[in-house]
C-alpha cells in the first residue's frame, strides 16, 4: 500500500477518523464527549456514560488534529473535552480522576493508573496544541501518578487503588506501557528532563529487567513484587482487557515507544530492543492462513485468541514507521520494517477500516467475520489509528521526506 508511504495518504486516513467522530461526539448538554458511536454507521448507542479513558483520548485526538493543521473545529473540540476532564472527572476531595460517570455523576471512582496515564497524555498533547489550562492539568496528572502509583523500589507504577488510595496487589504491564507513552509526550510538550528520565526508567525496567523471567517476552500480569502471575485470568482466555498469554500488539507498541525514546536518548539498547520486540510481534503473531496479527498467543506462537483487533495493527504500523526512519538514520540494512509497514496497511485497508466512513473496527474473528457491533462504555474512539498516522507523519517530516522508502536517486 504505497499510498500510505506518503504524507498525503496518511493525512487522508487521519482526517477520515476525525470526521467520523465529529460533531456527533460532542455533548453540548452535559459536557465532554459522547464516545459510544456504533462502528458500522456512527449512531449513538449510549449518550450517558463518560469513561475517563474515552474522554482523555478525545482530548488527545482533537489536539493531534490541531497539531496537524486539521479541520478548524479541532481546537474547539479539544478544549471542550479538556474542560470536562479537568472539572467533572476530577475528584477534588480525594484527588484523582473518576473512572466512570453517568452524565456528570460518578458511578465508579476506582483509581486506575491506566486512566491517569491517559489524562497525562491528553494534557501533554493539549499543551503542544496551545490549549489554555493544559500545563496545569499536565502537572496535576503527573503529581497524582507520582504520589498515588509510583513505586520507587520497583521502578514501576502500581495498577489501581480504591477511591481512598488503598493499592490493589495486582501489577500490570499495560498501565506502565501507557504511562511511559504519556511521559514521553510530557517531555515533548515541556522539555522537562524529569519526564524523559522517568520514561526511560520504566522502559528499561520493564522491557529488559522484568522480561528476563519470561525469556524476553512481555507477560501482562504480575504479583505485587513483579513476579509473573501465570494463573491470572487463566480461566478467562477471552477477557477483553486482561487476557492470559502474550499479546503481539503490546510487543509492537513497546517497540514503537522504544523507537520514540531513541529519538530523544540515543542509547543503542533502545533501538536494538525495539527491533527485537517488533520482530517478536510479527513472528509470533502473524496469521499465515488468514493474514493479520492474533490477539493473544502462547510463547511459541500458537493462538489463544485468534481474533484480529484494529488497535493491534495500528500500533504495528506506527512501530514499523518509526523503525523505517531509525534504520535510515543509522544506516541499518533491513528492508523488513518497510515491508511490514506495507503489509499491515494492506491488511487494515482490506479488513479493518470501514469502507464507508474510514473509522477502524475494534475486532474481527480470525476469518474476518464480524460477530457483533462491539458496543460498551470502554470504547476506542480512534486513538490508535490517529496516533500512529500522526507518528508516521512525524517520521517523514523529521527526515525531510514526502514518502517512506528509498529516495529517488537510490532507486
For the annotated catalytic residues, the residue numbers are 250, 384
Interatomic CA distance for residues 62 and 70, integer angstroms: 9
Distance CA 197, CA 203 (A): 10
CA distances from 25 to 12, 61, 368 (A): 20, 12, 28
- Could you give the maximum distance between any two Cα atoms of the chain, in Å? 63
Q: Judge whether 257 and 203 are in contact, CB under 8 Å.
A: yes
CA distances from 288 to 201, 233, 292 (A): 36, 28, 8
The 3-state secondary structure of the chain, one letter per residue: CHHHHEHHHHHHHHHHHHHHHCCCCECCCCCCECCEECCCCCCEEECCEEEHHHHHHHHHHHHHHHHCCCCCCHHHHHHHHHHHHHHCCECCCCCCECCEEECCEEEECCEEHHHHHHHHHHHHHHHHCCCCCHHHHHHHHHHHHHHHHEECCCCEECCEECCCCCECCCEEHHHHHHHHHHHHHHHHHHCCHHHHHHHHHHHHHHHHHHHHHHCCCCCCEECCCCCECCCCCCCCCCCCCCCCCECHHHHHHHHHHHHHHHHHCCCHHHHHHHHHHHHHHHHHHECCCCCCECCEECCCCCEEECCEEHHHHHHHHHHHHHHHHHHHHCCCCCCHHHHHHHHHHHHHHHHHECCCCCCECCEECCCCCCCCCCCCCCCCCCHHHHHHHHHHHHHHHHCCCCECCCCHHHC
Distance CA 143, CA 195 (A): 12
For the chain, how far is it from start to end, CA to CA, in angstroms? 18
Amino acid at each position: 500500500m504505497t499510498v500510505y508511504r506518503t504524507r498525503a495518504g496518511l493525512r487522508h486516513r487521519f482526517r477520515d477518523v476525525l470526521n467520523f467522530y465529529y460533531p456527533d461526539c460532542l455533548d453540548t448538554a452535559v459536557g465532554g464527549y459522547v464516545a459510544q458511536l456504533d462502528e458500522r454507521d456512527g449512531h449513538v448507542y449510549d449518550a450517558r456514560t463518560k469513561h475517563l479513558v474515552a474522554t482523555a483520548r478525545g482530548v488527545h485526538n482533537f489536539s493531534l488534529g490541531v497539531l496537524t493543521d486539521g479541520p478548524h473545529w479541532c481546537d474547539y473540540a479539544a478544549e471542550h473535552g479538556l474542560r470536562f476532564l479537568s472539572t467533572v472527572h476530577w475528584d477534588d476531595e480525594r484527588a484523582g480522576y473518576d473512572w466512570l460517570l453517568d452524565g456528570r455523576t460518578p458511578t465508579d471512582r476506582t483509581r486506575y493508573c491506566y486512566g491517569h496515564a491517559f489524562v497525562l497524555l491528553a494534557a501533554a498533547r493539549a499543551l503542544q496544541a496551545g490549549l489554555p489550562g493544559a500545563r496545569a492539568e499536565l502537572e496535576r496528572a503527573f503529581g497524582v501518578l507520582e504520589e498515588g502509583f509510583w513505586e520507587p523500589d520497583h521502578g514501576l507504577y502500581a495498577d489501581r487503588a480504591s477511591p481512598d488510595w488503598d493499592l490493589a496487589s495486582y501489577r500490570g504491564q499495560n498501565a506502565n506501557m501507557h504511562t511511559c507513552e504519556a511521559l514521553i509526550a510530557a517531555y515533548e510538550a515541556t522539555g522537562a528532563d524529569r519526564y524523559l528520565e522517568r520514561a526511560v526508567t520504566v522502559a528499561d525496567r520493564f522491557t529488559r529487567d522484568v522480561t528476563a523471567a519470561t525469556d524476553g517476552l512481555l507477560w501482562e500480569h504480575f504479583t505485587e513484587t513483579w513476579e509473573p502471575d501465570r494463573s491470572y485470568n487463566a480461566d478467562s482466555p477471552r477477557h477483553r482487557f486482561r487476557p492470559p498469554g502474550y499479546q503481539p500488539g503490546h510487543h509492537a507498541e513497546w517497540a514503537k515507544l522504544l523507537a520514540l525514546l531513541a529519538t530523544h536518548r540515543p542509547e543503542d539498547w533502545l533501538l536494538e530492543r525495539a527491533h527485537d520486540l517488533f520482530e517478536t510481534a510479527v513472528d509470533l503473531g502473524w496469521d499465515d492462513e488468514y493474514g493479520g496479527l492474533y490477539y493473544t498467543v502462547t510463547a511459541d506462537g500458537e493462538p489463544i485468541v485468534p481474533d484480529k483487533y484494529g488497535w493491534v495493527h495500528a500500533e504495528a504500523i506506527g512501530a514499523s514507521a518509526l523503525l523505517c526512519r531509525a534504520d535510515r538514520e543509522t544506516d541499518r540494512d533491513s528492508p523488513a520494517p518497510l515491508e511490514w509497514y506495507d503489509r499491515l496497511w494492506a491488511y487494515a485497508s482490506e479488513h479493518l477500516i470501514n469502507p464507508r466512513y474510514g473509522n477502524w473496527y475494534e475486532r474481527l474473528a480470525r476469518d474476518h467475520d464480524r460477530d457483533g457491533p462491539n458496543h460498551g462504555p470502554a470504547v476506542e474512539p480512534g486513538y490508535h489509528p490517529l496516533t500512529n498516522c500522526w507518528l508516521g507523519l512525524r517520521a517523514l517530516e523529521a527526515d525531510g521526506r514526502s514518502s517512506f522508502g528509498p529516495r529517488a536517486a537510490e532507486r
